[in-house]
Chains A and B, each alone.
Chain A
Amino acid sequence: MTRSIIELPVTADDYRIARYAAAAIALTVAEAALPSPLPGIKPGLANIIVLVVLARYGWKDAAWVSLLRVVAGSLVIGQFLAPGFFLALAGALCSLAVLALAQHLPPRFFGPVSASVLAAFAHIGGQIALARVWLVPHDGVFYLLPLFATAALVFGTINGLVAARLLAAAVATPATPPSVKAAL
């Protein structure tokens, strides 16, 4: 058998995104071990990584990390193409859409906590909307909205604070411009 080597050109950006995505996936997997009182209520720790990436490298990188996290994370925990995967995907897409807008909030008044809380609400919004349309075609799912919203508020705030804490450190360590210092 001939050994053939196919080399795909990999940029420094790819490496950096892959590493952040790996960190996010690790958090997803760790979190999957936690018991949840209600399907859909999770801390969403991986979003801390997404927030950090958003603040330091911009929305495009954050979107890559978030979506890679959803796909690869679900593969690792054996949820790929299961209902949970689609719910997570819907949530992630809605969060990213909201973050695309939220990143234009004046930074003087709004920090990562705002972004995190808004994204958390978008996340449950997306999930419940998909669940209503597809999984539970009954308005009964909306009865659970207050519980999901409470979880989003609490975990969104906590994740935002953690991201803000990490980013406060980033002020001391300025972000390495993506392409200059190859994140190797």
Chain B
Amino acid sequence: MKERIPAGLRELLAQATADGHLPWRRLLKAGDWLLLLAAAALVAASFPLLWRGGVADRAIVKRDGQLVTELALNIPRKYEVIGAIGTTVIEVQPGRARVLSDPGPRQYCVQQGWLTRANAVAICAPNHVTLQLAGRSGQNGAYDTLNY
């Protein structure tokens, strides 16, 4: 093999180097600008998809799979659920909810911290209590849980 870079490409590189500075705007034609604008608009329009996971507006508390209560996420409050081995305390603040304390030995649901998105869930298995957020749109009801 005589050359490492294809002859055509080498010529182009040499020529491009020899040409010196060429304003990059001159590399774009009218159609390119239009296409770029359209593409940028589409990309911007697609961003709400990122948040389609949804804003949560209520917290659903269940014990043994049975609904205990639904708490609106607009007033801060605390709610106590008596479960299989003790009392689980749920804390609600505007737009978010968490398990404040739980009698479970490993504290997984407490350590999960604040839940903010629709369909996020914290499960306190030893106490048979779950806390799940729900959004306005019912369309995500097909999923048990979504994690972020």
Q: Which residues of A contact B (CB under 8 A)?
A: 16, 19-20, 22-23, 49, 52, 56, 105-106, 108-114, 117-118, 121, 140, 142-147, 149-150, 153, 157, 160-161, 164-170, 172-173, 175-176, 183-184
Decide: B39 and A121 in contact? CB cutoff 8 A.
yes
With A23-B5, A147-B50 as given contacts, are A173 and B15 in contact (CB-CB < 8 Å)?
yes
Q: 3 tightest A-B contacts by CB?
A: A109-B31, A19-B6, A169-B15
Q: Which of A22, A112, A118, A142 contacts B49 (CB 8 A)?
A: A142
Q: Is B67 in contact with chain A by the CB < 8 A criterion?
A: no
Measured between alpha carbons, how far is A105 from B31 in the docked complex, in Å? 9
Looking at the assembled complex, report how far the CB atom of A97 sits from the nearest CB atom of chain B, in whole angstroms. 17
Looking at the assembled complex, report how far the CB atom of A96 sits from the nearest CB atom of chain B, in whole angstroms. 19
Total number of B residues with any Cβ neighbor in A under 8 Å: 37
Would you call the interface of chain B mostly helix, strand, loop, or mixed? Answer: helix
With A110-B35, A146-B46 as given contacts, are A49 and B29 in contact (CB-CB < 8 Å)?
no
Measured between alpha carbons, how far is A8 from B52 in the docked complex, in Å? 56
Decide: B19 and A113 in contact? CB cutoff 8 A.
no
